A and B are shown apart, each in its own frame.
Chain A
């Protein structure tokens, strides 16, 4: 009984030795399947298999996106969503920039950038969130791309510099075990 169980449980580990990585990419589209609100980006990345939130691996950067509903304080909403996605409190010192309905937090401690956009019109009450984690020099251009979509303007040079200086060494951000990522599935 124990032998059979061990073989079955270890079979996937053995398969890792022979299964190659499939080359797959798709267009990045911020949003969540429960809502009609989506913001497509002009880039293609590898879709992430994490279950909690939709995401993509863009080179060494993990990009995650979600929509949350009913937030009453946009600053707090972004901080709380970042806490959920990086699995840790966002540093109190983390700088937050605001432009119209958009916000961005550069969190050096977690080596992550969180960007949010408050919905208007038919999307009022919703908040679109994107989280990027990975090496700073790769985070900056992606953050700028999203910021342009959210505000219509480029991210300031100072902000890009601050992002680039984050010493991200997570290579694709956090990978959560299935037990931590099944919320939406079970």
Chain B
């Protein structure tokens, strides 16, 4: 655990929380109270469902070291800090697109560029903040949770927007927009960030690899996430081309996500060396306290107490070039 990253996380979360509240609830309350109310209900259900789904996986880290605080920090980074960074970094991109009159790629650059970077920064900060996160798949699930926070906030905001775009009433518009977002392209931000997070997890937590290899993993998977997001956001001039574009991206994105999920899942299941300590162990008393932890107990009973720093741990994951 790094104090620098922990302090950074706390400061940015404090700054990002009002931004999250504004985009998740505040803005909609002003424009459409119906959209705001439904956004809260659907958002909470969506978060609970996805968090529950991921928590069933062996990729989920030890709760005593990365439990509710990690989940909450991830969600707030996605829904608050990322939005803050995107608002700061995204506006110049939109101005650039306007100057160059690049209509077709305006949402691609305006969305994918700042958003994927902002979310991946969060994955990095969280991986170095929580000691229980020390395996490549922890980058994957942390990315997914950050993407979830971003997606739910965005959906709530768009739900309010949909409310206004309905010609008759806010209720129909909100329901239509949530339906569109959840059914036609579900989990987009979860997927983008999980893939980028997987790359960062590999780069940080795989032992015995060169610096160039680590940069390739982190940069390569970030590029994959960016490229998928970029392609999804392309604005084609005809509806037919737009639908074909969505289908092509979906046919690449969803199988790729499932493939990475399965690899990470398998690696996590086969990993018997997972351990962490809340702090450095420098005495027998400290070791005894460590044995009280569930994850450490199961590990220490079968293997010597290997207590490496997160950067030095040797996971059983098979690294994969993007």
The interface of chain A, by Cβ under 8 A from chain B, is 1-2, 5, 8-10, 12-13, 15-16, 19-22, 24, 33-34, 46-52, 68-73, 76-77, 80-81, 83-84, 87-88, 127, 175, 177-186
Contacts and interface: CB of A to CB of B under 8 A. Distances in A.
A38 to B, nearest CB: 12
A80 B102 contact: no
A76 B168 contact: yes
Contacts of B106: 49-51
Nearest to B200: A1
A42 B271 CA distance: 68
Contacts of A52: 161
Interface in B77-107: 83, 85-103, 106-107
B238 A9 contact: no
Contacts of B157: 179-180
A80 B167 contact: yes
Interface string B103-144: 100110011011001100100100000000000000000000
A9 B103 contact: no
Interface residues of B, number: 54
Contact of B92 (A1, A15, A71): A15
Contacts of A1: 121, 124
A15 B92 CA distance: 9
B13 interface: no
Contact of A178 (B85, B90, B99, B158): B90
Contacts of B94: 49, 175, 177-178
B185 interface: yes
Interface of B: 8, 23, 31, 83, 85-103, 106-107, 110-111, 113-114, 117-118, 121, 124, 154, 157-158, 161-162, 164-168, 177, 181, 185, 188, 232-233, 235, 237-239, 242
A70 B172 CA distance: 11
Contacts of A9: 85, 88-89, 114, 117-118
Contacts of A8: 117
B165 A84 contact: yes
A175 B113 CA distance: 19
A182 B124 contact: no
Nearest to A84: B164
Nearest to B234: A185
A118 to B, nearest CB: 11
Contact of A186 (B83, B100, B166, B233): B233
Contacts of A20: 99
